[in-house]
Chain A
Amino acid sequence: MDGTQFAALRWRSMKPACIGIALALVGCGSQSRSECEALRTTESVLNELAWAAEQADAGRTPRTYLEAFQRQGVQQLKQSAQELRPHDPTAAGIVDGVAGYAGTPDRLRAAARSLRAREATLEAA
């Protein structure tokens, strides 16, 4: 575990509490709202990784940048999966499926679309 992962773990343990306090403050605490936020954020990270991979395939990104960008993205995906797991294990599973590696653009986009569909269902509910 490098310093970034260690620091991220500590933050991960604090973030739900911070969001919970914030929601409680306005009296509008709702699990689905924070779940929606997590889904939307994760969807964007997946699309960012997909676009970066496409640009790399087209020879438009330096290798060091791409590798570091993918590491940062994968780490965010792992955090997202942990946030989602208690309330939406299916969504967490979708993220797990692509978070172990950078993934191909198509698989990343497909995962993003699945999360988008779950978010739409949540919003409708």
Chain B
Amino acid sequence: MKPLELTLGILTAVGGFVDISELVFVSQAGARFGYALIWVIVLATVGIIVFGEMSGRIAAVSRQPMFTIIRKELGLTLGGVTLIGGLVSTLVTCAAEIGGVALVLQLLTGGSYLLLAALATTVFAASIWLLPFKWIERSYGLLGLVMLVFAAALLALDPPWSHIAAGLVPRVPAGLSQQDMLVYGYFVVALISAIMFPYELYFYSSGGVEDAWSKADLSTNRVTSIVGMSLGALMAIVLLCLAAQELGPRGISPEQVGAVVLQPGLAFGKLGVILGLLGILTAVAGAAIETCLANAYAVSQFFGWRWGRHRPPQDTPLFTLAWLVVFALALALVCTGVEVTDLADYAVVLSIVVLPLSFLPLLLAGNDPVLMRDQVNGPWSRRLGWLFYGLVVLAAVAAVPLYLLTLGGKL
């Protein structure tokens, strides 16, 4: 394990953890229910660590990325269903990220939303075309660390630590009406989905293959996924706590992405607002690239095309075409005028429905002694894997009814 590589990997995971859906949902959750949903972030983070570590280990040992495994384990028909579901949910997520970037750029420059969305998409496409994989991953991930201004703001605003600690204990707040209970349930499901997005695993697993991971990288995989994702989750908790402390009491359940940066502004003035905007911009920009590549990886791996950013674009024509088409479709979706918060809503609901089909092949492959040899899932990985798989299935079954009954948590 090289210390510099490891540190960079962890920092990248932290900076890349937050995306537009998490930003929207943790802020709305904090504004509506105070600190009562912190435990969901912790629970879902343990889940994404279990499956993230597993996907990295499978990539390192078998040199097979996620959608190769999915096709092998589920077959052409069910694998195809998983592919289509994953593509749709990740495309909507990509559109939400591009829309989020455009909104933040508009707040920084005052320019036209659609023009900025097109400009941002062009910059993302140029980044993928020109930069090696590691540079793409690291530059956006590390720049996302500007989000730490939100943590500094929370500390400066003297948070109620006892309330935050109480939020770590799973509970339903007392005195909720039947309607509030449904909305609480919706936020539980939405937070699980926003933290365990399937694209994160498609990207992480494919990244392992891009970086030519081998058994020698297993410790890096383990430490990066555990430490990096845990620290990233702390950022989500910070956003929830800020919203509970500053937004909820003001009657705000952020409908505009720009409202969130008023919180660092409260602590640090204009500099806080600008750093907050830059932090969101880089974190969400990184997520836009990850979602786009995740879709191109998925379709290329499923159909057995040559893929990867470790190869020049001309050597991977179908893969290159795939990510260009994903960007074009996501931008078209943004141009319909659908609001970013609505896109984030659709993204989490679609994603949670796809999660069981994405996670099952991973679990089966990780438990397969022929494929994994001495790196097969141990007793804890197996137990935790099935436990979280059951949780994800429950969340997937509840997601659509809760979405419809609460109008996306807005009631």
Contacts and interface: CB of A to CB of B under 8 A. Distances in A.
Contacts of B109: 64, 68
Contacts, number: 125
A40 B410 CA distance: 7
Given A7-B114, A7-B337, A19-B407, A65 B108 contact: yes
Nearest to A18: B342
B273 A61 contact: yes
Nearest to B334: A7
B407 A33 contact: yes
Interface residues of A, number: 47
Given A48-B259, A59-B270, A7 B405 contact: no
Nearest to A65: B107
B339 interface: yes
A60 B407 contact: no
B253 interface: yes
A9 B401 CA distance: 28
A104 interface: no
Given A28-B405, A37-B411, A61 B112 contact: no
Given A19-B407, A25-B404, A69 B253 contact: no
Interface stretch (B229-237, B261-269, B313-321): B261-269
A2 B252 contact: no
Given A7-B337, A8-B337, A26-B404, A72 B258 contact: yes
Interface in A4-54: 4, 6-12, 14-15, 19, 22-23, 25-26, 28, 33-34, 36-37, 40-41, 43-45, 47-48, 51-52
A61 B255 contact: no
A76 interface: yes
Contacts of A41: 255, 410
Contacts of A59: 269-270
A12 B336 CA distance: 10
Nearest to A2: B112
A82 B270 CA distance: 34
B266 A55 contact: yes
Interface string B84-115: 00000000000000000001001111101111
B346 to A, nearest CB: 10
A4 B259 contact: no
A37 B410 contact: yes
A123 B269 CA distance: 39
A45 B201 CA distance: 35
Interface in B385-411: 401, 403-405, 407, 410-411
Query: Taking chain B's interface residues, is the majority helix, strand, or loop, or is none over half, making it mixed?
Result: helix
Among A4, A9, A40, the one with the most B-chain Cβ atoms within 10 Å of its Cβ is: A4
A65 B277 contact: yes
A35 B404 CA distance: 15
Contacts of B258: 52, 65, 68-69, 72
Interface string A58-75: 011110110111001100
A4 B114 contact: yes
Contacts of B251: 43-44, 47, 112, 116
Nearest to B259: A48
Nearest to A41: B255
Contacts of A62: 270, 273-274
A67 B269 CA distance: 16
A44 B107 contact: no
Interface in A89-125: 112, 116, 123
A86 interface: no
A1 B338 CA distance: 17
B335 to A, nearest CB: 6
21 contacts: A3-B113, A7-B114, A8-B339, A11-B339, A12-B337, A23-B404, A26-B404, A26-B405, A28-B404, A36-B411, A37-B410, A43-B251, A48-B252, A52-B258, A52-B262, A60-B270, A64-B108, A65-B108, A68-B106, A69-B256, A72-B103
Q: Which 9 A-B pairs have the closest CB atoms?
A: A7-B337, A11-B337, A3-B114, A4-B113, A37-B410, A48-B259, A47-B251, A26-B404, A69-B258
Interface of A: 2-4, 6-12, 14-15, 19, 22-23, 25-26, 28, 33-34, 36-37, 40-41, 43-45, 47-48, 51-52, 55, 59-62, 64-65, 67-69, 72-73, 76, 112, 116, 123
